[in-house]
Chains A and B, each alone.
Chain A
């Protein structure tokens, strides 16, 4: 369906990634945001707080902490709203339990994390990309999520819409993994008219109360949803549950449920994967990057090309689920791989795993607090080029 024009600020704007994220959410139909202030993400909810009163049916509430924010939004989703919360490092850590709840109860919602330097309080005002594994595995137990990494304010707008759409399609919490640099970077953002924005509606059941089983999956492994007040009078629990939503402590029910929570993403992964390739075809070396780091990596590619090294780039746009098959192909073709990210090896280990020893994989790591120096990534390209077999 098309976007509701009430939330769409059509036009050309000069705004930062945080503001663009808020506009993307409103365009996607998000009408409930719960937040707790934390640098460098606060601007997203500041804008939401200012915009919401002027959009019918939209509400912002500043909660008492991130634990509250990350579950208030789930209450709103079960009341029928599209909802998000926004945070950064320490707040993201506090939200982990509720990412697990959203995964377990298949609550479609968006968690925005504008990544800063960590661990702990770390570097509140400076960039990092070291929450990538936390986004994927941070809550206890076994589940899968989807994570997107924009590299510009324009993408922050566009991909926030994608994040909401994916969350509705797969009934999964989607991690919108920005970084401080993209969050605070001002660029032109073009917001199209509402009738040019495609929105995935909630997959509400068409079955009447009594016939509908809230956790019985459809052919795509995803169950249809209900909302409170619809007359279904059903139960939703974070306990292991059967198709009726009733708690059931048997290993068989656990197997059926967790297997599906994991596989509804894994088996649908080829439909979710998204990456951009530049000059990969003839390359001897491929640099992989996501978010702000991809904008340094592309300069490093140009620099190395000038020195005669055939190098290309693969930019991860959807990082989780990870495009394993493409990495396997590149490694099988003997292309050396360089992973550039603002941490000391997170997505890197996934690349290394998928290369299966068929190609050298080097890390251009960084502790965060600044973006990479282009020369440092270029040096790794040279090193990777030299250690090809």
Chain B
């Protein structure tokens, strides 16, 4: 037995050495929870009393999905669950005092007694081996859909001591949407306890095109792909959305007035806030500063047209000044969420690469390694990592999503051999990425964890591009 273990270790070590060029630091730092390894939680299917039962498919899908997607907990598959599911604290039973393991006459082991699901040890012991149990049920009370949700810490021995969450959640409607809403809220409470950040309430803004060469509009959707809805109706080319740090505004580029120009909108309500565009053939790629009071963007203003420079301006476009002065194409400026630096794409050394500079435009340095083409930089909320698109190892145009630790310049490739993967955008939780991929033949928007796992397709209709994930 021991020898096998040593061989396995040696093989694993060899494999690790071979995978060699990429340094693993970037990924592990991002998604490893403070404890070291992910805690296991059991989430059995909740049932609904009476009329509530018809919404429980949506509820369970959302609750499980949100907790799993948080990346801070491992959800135990329900094939391992006991037969009987507790729905309220009073369902639990105490096991009888421990007795000697009974043996048959032939000295065979007999299965130890269990509670069929109503003992805490049914969940904390094998095969479930969970540290936590989420349970409860829903009902319609006075025309309100109510969730009674509980979270037990199974290490605490008795139900009386185990409750960590015991709460009523009230939905704003008696339907699938209401069921999803309370599931989102319950999951958010659970995930927050483990250092995770709920994505509930965040939004993904993106570009939607109904058919090839048709108009492009800005749309919004929930992080699970639900509630897809248009924001703009220009019937033109409207592209390149970005979100303000507090989620109250978006900025984007549109051809609606002829040449590409920048627009700044509030999202609740949807309203054009007005932005002064310099007289230029192109004003594009706007994004917000961390305090949400300024816009950085790319413009051909103030030149014979040969220059595409980065500018900074007030939220309404006034007070603009250039930050770069190269005679090449400087685009896609993105300000560090912690302030101080700006990353951008530039063709100043040939094929596009990713650069960083400080807020005055000084201290320009190249972040990307220099091969292929690197573009679409996006800051992690921690201000220390970026995600970007890179053709390294592939032909021109065949982008994959990478993450990079800016201080060390170490990088990790997240997508492989699956079409073009571009425009990564970090979620507010710093653990998820949205990105665009044409792996199915048409451009669609996907999410994944920062280690490249748990890829989910969010859009299916038409063509969808350029996700921007914000509050």
The answer on A and B forming one complex is no
Which residues of B are interface residues toward A (Cβ below 8 A)?
none
> Which A residues lie at the B interface, using CB under 8 A?
none
